[in-house]
Chains A and B, each alone.
Chain A
Amino acid sequence: MSLKRILVLDGVIAVCRFQDDGTILEGEGVIPAEMQGRLAQFAQWYRRMVAGNTDLFSLFSQMRGWTPAKGWIVHGANMTVCNVANLVAMVDNREASLNEIMAALEHASHE
């Protein structure tokens, strides 16, 4: 799925695909390219951190089904950022359907 197909979903401001070191591979959206690059880098840093925390939680809880972590959502006052695998989307809360966007990211992450 091309990133454009995620960008056209209601409320999506930007969507980026990034490498394992956080470098942006491709980005689409209405924010400047420099901000897209920064978004990708932050998303990857945060993803690694959440994954590390989840590994620890899984280790001590001994509960299956948490790791490897798929992604995260940070729900802001007016905007939300969500990540699945190496994709990150920035969305406007007023227009976006978070469920639809998470499903699209999950779908795109398998391609």
Chain B
Amino acid sequence: MHIAKQLMAIPGVIAAGEYAYRGDRYTYEGGLTDEQARMASILCRANTLNVSMQAEMFSSFAEHCGCRPLQGWIVRGKQLSVCAVGNFFCLLENRQGVLNDVMTVMRAKVGDISDNVMQVMYSKIGGDVTEQLV
């Protein structure tokens, strides 16, 4: 089953999807409009870019700190949370146990990100990975 569909089966998940390095390519399931999904995709891409770079910088100062390659990130809001693992994202309610269930599914299904996360994201849309990393 597609990961987004599996995530949507968890009560409390509002939307889930997949985004590529370029923020304009995405697929999703759940309660978002197409425009909201596009914005979520751009947001996830920028955030992943951010956190990935921070992990790289941090690990260059503190080698073997275990923070790279980056696996994902979670932003916990007041009532909602957003999390991303690899190139999948999920929007969920802050109900007891939902985040743990979502992260369990995402980590199990997406698997360990062993390479540079940006290259993994790029490989989803094909093309010359190294060339396009701007």
Contacts and interface: CB of A to CB of B under 8 A. Distances in A.
Are A and B close enough to touch in the complex, i.e. CB under 8 Å? yes
Interface of A: 20-21, 38, 41-42, 45-46, 48-49, 51-53, 55-56, 59
Contacts of A41: 60
A42 B46 contact: no
Contacts of B23: 55
Which of A38, A46, A56, A59 has the largest count of B CB atoms less than 10 A from its CB? A56
A45 to B, nearest CB: 5
A53 B46 CA distance: 6
Contacts, number: 45
B63 to A, nearest CB: 13
Given A45-B57, A46-B53, A55-B23, A20 B47 contact: no
A39 to B, nearest CB: 12
Interface in B88-134: 130-134
A38 B133 CA distance: 18
B43 A56 contact: yes
Given A45-B53, A48-B49, A20 B43 contact: no
A20 B46 contact: no
Contacts of B29: none
5 contacts: A46-B53, A48-B134, A52-B53, A53-B46, A59-B46
Contacts of A46: 53, 57
Interface string B15-51: 0000000010000000000000001001101110110
Contacts of A59: 39, 42-43, 46
A38 B56 CA distance: 12
